[in-house]
Structures are given as C-alpha cells and as structure tokens.
Structure 1
C-alpha cells in the first residue's frame, strides 16, 4: 500500500470540504485527476473510503480511520521538513544517544555538559536502555551513539572505552556484611534490597543475574536516584547495589560501607559505540571527540 503525500492531502481536503470538486481545487488538481487518485486509493485498500451522495460525499468507517492517520502522517512530515531545514542551513542539529543507567546518572552529565554549552545549536536526545539493547540498536542504525557495558567487538560497530565501572553493595555500617572485603551477588540475595525502578537498566541487569541463580530479589522500596537508595541503605532499610562512584559520593554524607561485588559481570567497561561506516556525520564526530576528552 503506497500513498504519496499528495494523495493524503487530497483526501483530507475532500473530507474537510465534503466535495471532490472543492477538495480538488484546494489541492490544485483537476477534478478528473483527483477522482482517479481517490479511486486508486480505494483500490489499493480494497475498501470504499467515500460515500458519494447527491449533496457531496461522506467518509465511510474506513475513511474516518484513514483521515486520522493521514493527519498524523502529514503533521510528522511537516515536522521532519522543518527539522531537516535547520540542518540544511547549518542552524541546528540533533544527536540521538542511548546509554545505560550508570552512564546516565554517574558519568554522562560531566561529559555532556561542556559539549552542550560549547555547541548551543546542537541538541542531544538521550534514552536509557539495558546495554544489550543499546548494542543491537546502534548496530541496526536506530540511534547515533551508544554507551553500553559489554559492547563486544563487532564488524558492525566501532567501540572505544568511555569509563570503567564497578558495582558495589552499599549497606549500613552495622550490617552483617560489614567487615567483608568483597561479596558475591548470590550471597546477598537473602537480604532486603532498596533499588531503582523496574524500568531502569541496572535493575534489568540485577534481576537477570538473580534469575540465573534461580532467585528473585526482595525489594522493600524503589527510588529514582542512586543518592536516594544509598541514603536508605545507610539507614538500614536494605542493601543497595550501586556504582562505586555513587557509593563513594553518598559516603561523604552518610555512614555507609561499600563492598565490591566479586562477580566478573560487576566490573564493567563502559564503551562508546557507533555503527561502523567510512565517515560519521560531523555532529556525531564532534560529540565523540567530547566524550573521549571528558575527565
């Protein structure tokens, strides 16, 4: 099924005026041409879109459905045209970046802030996803840049190290785990947890590891920030699995211990990944350089 924008615009004009003649005039088409286009649309769909009556036309049920979709499609095309016009005239650009929870909360603001301040006409759309989805999305060309853990070498991706990250167990100083040098994740699955929401990438990672051990994590509550769950952990509400940087920062305000997780998956290289191609767009190249230089 293939309709061009002129077909959709004609259809909306006919629907608006209740007349093929007036709709054709508004679309700057001859009546015969407009009628042929409308019949072609109906033939492609295999259903009638218009009821032709003595005093004009009315939309069928299928026609009303198409009317809604046509309005959305043409509105999106206008938005796309406006956005691309900004690119063509060098006024504005937009980069689509995907990252996991740890990158978004702990590392990206320090790297992205100076870049955005230095490039006021470049916008960056950021989405949080689990690392495995990020790698697949970048390889498929669904976003410009990804920052993910476990981004293995691939003929479809170019990767560079962004940060090294280690997950730790944050707990109150009087917790039974205190005094340990490190713990395995399976050892703490009997504990009560405080954590991020179930829609966060780090929750997805921990829930997957718990499932592989044949267990489920027991959450007393969930908050939106590492700072919040570290504060609850310090109060003895439960333990939290957080990036080492988040635990270190929280320990400046609260009495808190941080025990490294001894599992191999808990020490991770966060990799910047882009789809492999001969030449990256200039905006993407600029942001990649900023990420490489960020402290």
Structure 2
C-alpha cells in the first residue's frame, strides 16, 4: 500500500462532502489530480473506496475502514504538532471546528479573530452544519470542536460547555402587518413571502423542517448567500419577511426600516454549547481554542456590558 497524508486528507474530504469535486476543492487540489490519487489508492488496495452515484459518491465498506483509520492517523499527527508546538516555534496546527448558522455568523467571527491573532501558528477549518450533524461529526472524529444548540439530545454523550444564548426572531418591513405583533408563532407567518439563507444553510434547513411539521412550506422568494445582514436588507426593501438571530436583527434595525418580532416557539430560544468528545484527549491547539471560547463566555456572563 502506497499512500501518504495528502491521500488520507483527500479521502476524508471526499467522504465529508460526498463529492470528489468538492473534496478536491477542500484539499486545494485539481479534480484530475484528486481522481488520479483515489484511483491509485484503490489499485494499491485492490478494492474500491467509493461508490460512484449519479449525485456524488459514498464510501464502500472498504472506504469506511480507510476513513476510520485515516481519522485516527491525522488526529495523532495533529496531537504531535500540538505537543511539539510548545517546543518548536512556527510549527502549525489546525483545529476542525463545526458550528451551527447563528454561531458561525454572529458569535464566532470576533471570537476567532482574537484567538487567531493570539495564536499565529494555529489555523481553524470552520464548517457550518446542523447541530445534529455536528454531534455525529464530533462523536466519530470528523471534527474536533463543535458549537451546537442545547436541544440536541445526543450531545449528552459528549463533553459540553456553555457558549452563548441565541434567540430567533421575525424581521419584517416596518409597515408589514406582522410587524405590529408583539410576539408571534412561526406557523402564523407561513402565508407570507420569505427571504431565506442560501441552500445548505443549517438554519434554513432547520426552518424548512419546522414549516414541514405544520404541513406547510416556506414561500421563499429569494435565497441569499452572505448571512443575516443580506437577508435583513431584502426585508428592509419589502421583498419578504425573514427569521434571523436576534443579535443580527437588532444590529440591522439601527440602519434599516425593520420591525423585530419575537417568536414564541420553544425552539426559537436556544442555548449554544461547545461540545467535544474529550477535552483532555484533544490536541493542544484544539484545547486552546475551547479554553479561549469558554473564557469569552465567562467574561460575557460576568461583564455588565456583554457584546452578546
């Protein structure tokens, strides 16, 4: 068997994205080169690693075995880098961080900026996922650190720590009929036109799911990349209403003609938590990130003027 760490990372990226094209992009590799590496590994092993499907690829039984061992090998490499990083200046480490939409857009940018400035030899690979997927990724070793909503039951199997509180609210144009409500249930909004986040957004999938549970679906006029600010800008122009994080809604209301209406649904109030498989088992650089995030949460909770 002849393959290296680049091959192992490629296999993981293809498995995580379900696509050789996307896996190659995440590996900063040309598609032809990635395909050739996978073909060479399969020839060396004498078996296929991925089933080629009409839409993407999925690991075979042999592929799952390689993926499991690849994660273990790369985790050990990261631990080695972290441990040596205490003795050798300039040796880099990488933390695989998965987060839900609200934390990715509202809470993590400032927190990660401070961490990366203080740790110039550590990189962070941030991916946005639904909370349930994040828990599974942490449990099977596909991510080091996760930020999830506390409603995810299986997070109890992991070590978790408080991070932030997030409330989802409705934003409407200032003269919209629903903007006059003091609070509202999500199901009461579904007859209206919506502006939503781009396909693949964890929060947008969450809202689509709750709409489906009522036997309805969101009437989306537009899906936007760019986050909550872009969505609020469309609401300001009267294109539709939207559900966003309260912190984003209050920020945007300062410069846009918006109404902010709290949602009464229990799932709209979420406590975000940091989750890891084992804090003591993390590489040094990943443990440093968790400690940084926990310290910020503690300071915000104690401070009289919390930015959150």
Query: d(CA) in 2 for partners of 1:161 and 1:238?
Result: 34
Deviation digits for residues 104-154 of structure 1 (CA, Å, limit 9, x no counterpart): 110001111111000000001000111110011112221100001124465
> 250-259 or 153-162, which moves further after superposition?
153-162
Whole-Å separation in 2 of the counterparts to 1:261 and 1:131: 20
* 2:112 counterpart residue number: 112
Query: Cα RMSD between the aligned structures?
Result: 3.0
Find runs of 4+ consecutive structure 1 residues off by over 4 angstroms: 41-46, 83-89
Q: Distance in 2 between matches of 1:293 and 1:132?
A: 25
Q: Structure 1 277/233 Cα, relative in aligned 2: closer, same or farther at 3 Å?
A: closer
- Alignment CA distance shift 1:5-1:111 (3 Å): closer
1:159 corresponds to? 160
Measured in 1, the distance between the counterparts of 2:239 and 2:182 equals 22
Output one character per residue of 1:232-274: Cα deviation in whole Å (capped at 9) or x when no partner.
1112110010000111010111111110111000110111000
Q: How many residues align?
A: 229
What is the deviation of 1:180? Answer: 1.0
Q: TM-score, normalised by structure 1?
A: 0.71
Contact map agreement 1:155 1:276 (CA 8 A) in 2: no
Matched residues in 2 for 1:207 and 1:196: separation? Answer: 11
Unaligned runs of 5+ in 1: 7-40, 47-75
How many Å separate the matches in 2 of 1:43 and 1:137?
28
Match of 2:133 in 1: 133
Choose 1 or 2 for highest CA Rg.
1
Which TM-score applies when normalising by structure 2? Answer: 0.68
- 1:274–1:244 distance in 2 versus 1, CA, 3 Å: same
1:232/1:4 Cα in 2 relative to 1: closer, same or farther (>3 Å)?
closer
1:99 equivalent in structure 2: 99
Please point out which of 228, 233, 236 is paired with 1:234. 236
Change (3 A) 1:179 1:88: closer
Deviation at 1:200, TM superposition (A): 0.3
Change over 3 Å in CA distance of 1:134–1:236 after alignment to 2: same
1:237–1:279 distance in 2 versus 1, CA, 3 Å: same
